[in-house]
Chain A
Amino acid sequence: MTAIDLAHEPAPSTSGERKLRMNEAIREALEQEMDRDERVFVMGEDVATYGGVFRCTAGLLERFGPERVRDTPISEGGIVGAGIGAALLGLRPVVEIMYMDFLPLAMDQLVNQWSMIPAIWDLPVPMVLRTQGGAGGSSTHHSKILEAWVTHIPELLVVAPSTPEDAKGLLISSIRDDRPVVFIEHRHIYERRGAVPEEPYETPIGKAFVRREGSDVTLISWSRMALQAEAAAEALAGSGIDAELIDLRSLVPLDMDTISRSLAKTGRAVIVHEACRRSGFGAEVAARIAEEAFDYLDYPIVRLGGLDRPVPFSPVFLPEVIPLAQTIVDAVRKLGA
């Protein structure tokens, strides 16, 4: 199994003109990896003929054929289990679970098979499970982010990019890694555009990215909330508060070096995520800071997370149930930064 290379810096941002949406960046990563390695194949609900409900697999069926781009029955446990079995025999499946709300139907496979096999049997299961979540635009059955469910499972690497560039590089790294990777996307940033290098590249798993440097407070976030935190940092700058923003990108392994380095500078930690706050991944980040960077703290750690209730339908509820930029700004101001 490959080791994590913590020494590597993330792939540099390009000044190139080419911009892609996040779903296009994901599609490009899949296409390039399928081109490079014939063991890589894709399966999931509506991924083939339709090209994925979020267009992440558009055109792959035409390019690679029905053996390597497979529409499945609506059977989450069956699909994930089949991916694990295929990976166990040396293929490299990329399995899509359309909504994270559907992931609980496959949890037995994650908890009892995918996690068990690399550790107990010492056999690689090089599968990537792609899924997406996010509040808004649909019912509570299409709104969940269950990242803490998967970070709690031993052996699984968990990745949650916020930009098209990171999405492509992290997906390529995930596919090439022999270890199990849960790749969490966000539905509401699929259309967001960003510069993406055309050639294949790896973005290291387990390495956070300092998206904005600052000296007064450290915002720690990932996925869509990293973008909200970025907006909050800009607003705070207007009132003289210089916020640093760490985009974790990987939840497991967690890049504590980058977090500690930042806290040594700022002394204030504000963790922001969209999933329910109680027992959310923010609790893990806060605990790790308390264990490993306590001496740097000047103020208690702040955790901002989703309201501990199912996400309701009307858009009116949204600012109340997930921590958007204004909520982050207010929380930082209360810190007395």
Chain B
Amino acid sequence: MQRAVESRPGADQPAAAPTPRGQHLVGTALLLELYRRMLTVRRLEERLLELKKEGRTVGALHLCVGQEAVGIGVGAALRPTDTLGSTHRGHAHLIGKGTDLRALTAELWGKAAGVVGGRGGHQLMADPSIGLLGGSGVVGSNVPVMVGQALAMKMRGEDRVAVALFGDGAANIGEVHEAINLASVWRLPVIFVCENNQWGLTVPFRQQCAVADVAERAKGYGVAGGVVDGNDVEAVYGAVTEGRRLAVEDGTPSLLEMKTYRLHGFSTGDLGGYQPEDELELWRARDPLLLTRQRLAERQALDDDADQRCKEETARAVEDALEYAMSLPDPDPRPYVEGVLR
């Protein structure tokens, strides 16, 4: 596999990754749709943060502000029958894979109508009907499970792939190493997507990993791989599309490292203060929403009025989902309690 982006950003330096003119990876109609999905995630999380401050949410929340292009781009490049394993920071992954917004918010409030009946919460959603299988609150823990899904797909000769999304922190987990090696030895249809947001809780990536790029490890595993500009939704989409092709046509797994940045704290319980202001400024200037909007403007597909309408429409959808979730009845705990083994 060719490296998805030849000129890559450094470990903590964003880089311009220009799309060659006249050669769009993503058609304009789809790019507009991806922009709307990213806006939805951003709006949802901004509102969640406000509601959290008002004491109206349930439990801790991990926000992906600044990272939306990864989940939205990955999801768009997959088919509904492909499966996706998400992380604790998964709102963009969930929406990218097609999770219903109302079912998602209902789960965030632990309601019976939530994706998994209020049992999973924001970290542990799963919906086989859209190939979401599923979240993980223990970093890297579900990566071997995604490899097993790919094993089932291969044993049955299906035209499907499994995608394991994990962070830069999970890249140093032993089980992730075992999983990538196993997938490579058995040539399973998996795409390993490392969403490198540069921070493992409060410790920077460069203090946790001795090599500049997680993707360098692809060679050691004998899988395809490369560094991708994770703030460029088109680049993400293109890399995953190619990873999918390699997986199903050639049985070659890929390790794609999506460089991005966590613009907020680790969780809503995070006091912050450890991310350097100049670094934040640099990445705010490369906000994936900003980049996509510029690209749509270049294609004369989104003027200021249309952009405003997009924002209003997505905000309305988010508000509807939030109001819906908060107004729902709580689940009945009895069937769960009665299901216990003795």
- Does A119 lie within 8 Å of B341, measured CB to CB? no
Contact with A along B239-277 (1 / 0, CB 8 A): 000000000000000000000000000000000000000
CA distance A108 to B117 in the complex (A): 24
CA distance A113 to B164 in the complex (A): 14
User: Which chain B residues lie closer than 8 Å to A120 at the CB level?
Assistant: 116, 119-120, 124
Contact with B along A14-40 (1 / 0, CB 8 A): 000000000000000000000000000
- Does B116 lie within 8 Å of A81, measured CB to CB? no
- Does B342 lie within 8 Å of A254, measured CB to CB? yes
B146 at the A interface (CB under 8 A):
yes
- Does B126 lie within 8 Å of A82, measured CB to CB? no
Tell which of B116, B142, B181 touches A73, judged by Cβ atoms closer than 8 Å.
B181
| A253-B145 contact in complex given A67-B155, A77-B178, A89-B153, C-beta closer than 8 Å | no
B144 at the A interface (CB under 8 A):
yes
- In residues 73-116 of chain A, which contact B (Cβ within 8 Å)? 73, 75-91, 93, 108-109, 112-113, 116
User: Which chain A residues lie closer than 8 Å to B342 at the CB level?
Assistant: 253-254, 256
| A121-B175 contact in complex given A85-B145, A85-B148, A89-B153, C-beta closer than 8 Å | no
CA distance A157 to B146 in the complex (A): 23
CA distance A266 to B134 in the complex (A): 51
- Does A113 lie within 8 Å of B141, measured CB to CB? yes
- In residues 219-256 of chain B, which contact A (Cβ within 8 Å)? none
User: Which chain A residues lie closer than 8 Å to B186 at the CB level?
Assistant: 70
Q: What are 16 inter-chain pairs, A to B, with CB distance below 8 A?
A: A70-B186, A78-B182, A81-B141, A81-B143, A81-B147, A82-B151, A84-B148, A85-B145, A85-B146, A85-B148, A87-B148, A108-B175, A112-B141, A119-B119, A157-B341, A256-B342
| A80-B144 contact in complex given A73-B178, A85-B152, A121-B134, C-beta closer than 8 Å | yes
A319 at the B interface (CB under 8 A):
no
> Interface size (B, Cβ < 8 Å)?
41
- Does B147 lie within 8 Å of A85, measured CB to CB? yes
A235 at the B interface (CB under 8 A):
no
B162 at the A interface (CB under 8 A):
yes
Contact with A along B302-342 (1 / 0, CB 8 A): 00000000000000000000000000000000001001111
- Does A86 lie within 8 Å of B341, measured CB to CB? no
A49 at the B interface (CB under 8 A):
no
CA distance A310 to B6 in the complex (A): 54
User: Which chain B residues lie closer than 8 Å to A75 at the CB level?
Assistant: 178, 181-182
User: Which chain B residues lie closer than 8 Å to A209 at the CB level?
Assistant: none
Nearest-neighbour CB distance to chain B for A35, whole angstroms, equals 17
A122 at the B interface (CB under 8 A):
yes
Tell which of A68, A73, A121 touches B182, judged by Cβ atoms closer than 8 Å.
A73
Nearest-neighbour CB distance to chain B for A205, whole angstroms, equals 10
Tell which of A68, A73, A81 touches B148, judged by Cβ atoms closer than 8 Å.
A81
- Does A82 lie within 8 Å of B144, measured CB to CB? yes
By beta carbon, the residue of chain B nearest A68 is B155
By beta carbon, the residue of chain A nearest B121 is A120
Contact with A along B166-178 (1 / 0, CB 8 A): 0000000011001
User: Which chain A residues lie closer than 8 Å to B143 at the CB level?
Assistant: 81
CA distance A193 to B320 in the complex (A): 67
B10 at the A interface (CB under 8 A):
no
B87 at the A interface (CB under 8 A):
no
